[in-house]
Amino acid sequence: MTAQPLLEATGVEVSFSVGSPLAGRLRGVQHVLHAVDGVDLTVHRGEALALVGESGSGKSTFARALVGIERPKRGQIKLDGKVLPARRSRADQRRIQMVFQDPYSSLNPRLTVGGTLHELLRVHRVVPRGEVESRARELLRLVGLDEGAVNAYPRQFSGGQRQRVAIARAIALRPELLVADEPVSALDVSVQATILNLLEELRADLGLTLLFISHNLAVVRHLCDRVAVMYLGRIIEVAPTEALFRDPRHPYTAGLLAAIPRMTPGDSGEAPAVRGDPPSPLRLPTGCRFRTRCPMAQQICAEQDPALAESPEDPGHSAACHFAWTTQTANATEAV
């Protein structure tokens, strides 16, 4: 791809100290949890990129680092070719916006929807003062809400409507990248569909670039062009959506796909797709972090930490497995 990517993250690390800091200091030990442990990710203009993974994989923390809520310990984030500084200017903050899973806790309960939007539009000087009012109404129309919603408080809306308000708030600043962290997970399926359709419309109408974080692979396959899979703080596979679902090259991805409950269950027997629990992020295995649950782990997996490597045939497809491009057995768990 020759076009300049919209966003380029390289070697991003975010870590937290865990446990009681006082007790730790007294004993002279400190546990550091590497929630995001060296992530490289490129987001192209106009695409919908999914970030999937299970709880504790670091997908939300990484997203928060992109938006500027968490400060990475290492690595850099480039937007449009320019490195974003640790302390972002207001203009830079505008360019990446976020929608959260629970719209109720991310909206100010004491402000009407109009109040929330007016404040944003004024503070960031998105439109001239005289147009703030009309722009707010236009935003509500864009997300499919009545203009009357301007005077209502968040608690007066249903979950789906509230998520529409949260989306209106995020796109009010005309961001170049919209990061949506599990935006439909708390919603009933019929409502979930309306929000997914809205996101698709907004992408088409406004040319939004979307980073969509989800654990729901059916939703991801429906909405996104590319998928990045995270496991314990690392990206372990990136591919165009169809390639990933058709031919996963990392055994974790293969297991994740095989674990999805299907509408027409093929009789898959009693063996689960992935065995065991993920290890504690405080005590990571040596070498490959997936090897303790991996059906194809070998000696080398305990010794060397595999890097994310591109497919020799398809440069858009990368996987961090020693055997990703040497054998045909990433699908072994399904085939048996």
Q: Which residues bind another protein (CB under 8 A)?
A: 54-55, 158, 160, 188-194, 196-197, 215, 217-219, 221-223, 241-242, 245, 255-256, 258-265, 270-275, 277
| DSSP H/E element including 119 | helix 113-123
Q: How far is the CB of 281 from another protein (least distance, A)?
A: 12
Q: How far is the CB of 79 from another protein (least distance, A)?
A: 30
CB-nearer residue toward another protein: 95 or 226: 226
CB 53 within 8 Å of CB 233 = no
From CA 306, how far away is CA 292, in angstroms rounded?
14
Q: How far is the CB of 276 from another protein (least distance, A)?
A: 9
CB-nearer residue toward another protein: 104 or 245: 245
Q: Are strands 234-240 and 309-310 parallel, antiparallel or unpaired?
A: unpaired
CB-nearer residue toward another protein: 122 or 222: 222
From CA 202, how far away is CA 126, in angstroms rounded?
19
Q: Are strands 74-79 and 82-83 parallel, antiparallel or unpaired?
A: antiparallel
CB-nearer residue toward another protein: 100 or 290: 290
From CA 7, how far away is CA 274, in angstroms rounded?
33
CB-nearer residue toward another protein: 2 or 55: 55
From CA 81, how far away is CA 77, in angstroms rounded?
9
CB 188 within 8 Å of CB 199 = no
CB 196 within 8 Å of CB 212 = no
Q: How far is the CB of 277 from another protein (least distance, A)?
A: 5
Residue found by looking up tokens 């320019």 in the block: 82
CB-nearer residue toward another protein: 170 or 274: 274
> Per the structure block, which two tokens stand in for 239?
């591919």
Q: How far is the CB of 234 from another protein (least distance, A)?
A: 17
From the list 13, 7, 15, 14, the residue with the least C-alpha distance to 77 is: 7
From the list 169, 127, 170, the residue with the least C-alpha distance to 149 is: 169
CB-nearer residue toward another protein: 22 or 263: 263
Go through 257-269 and write b for each residue having 16 or more CB atoms within 10 A of its CB, e for each that does not. Answer: bbeeeeeeeeeee
Q: How far is the CB of 272 from another protein (least distance, A)?
A: 4
Q: How far is the CB of 268 from another protein (least distance, A)?
A: 8
The total number of residues shown for the chain amounts to 336
CB-nearer residue toward another protein: 97 or 333: 333
Q: How far is the CB of 14 from another protein (least distance, A)?
A: 21
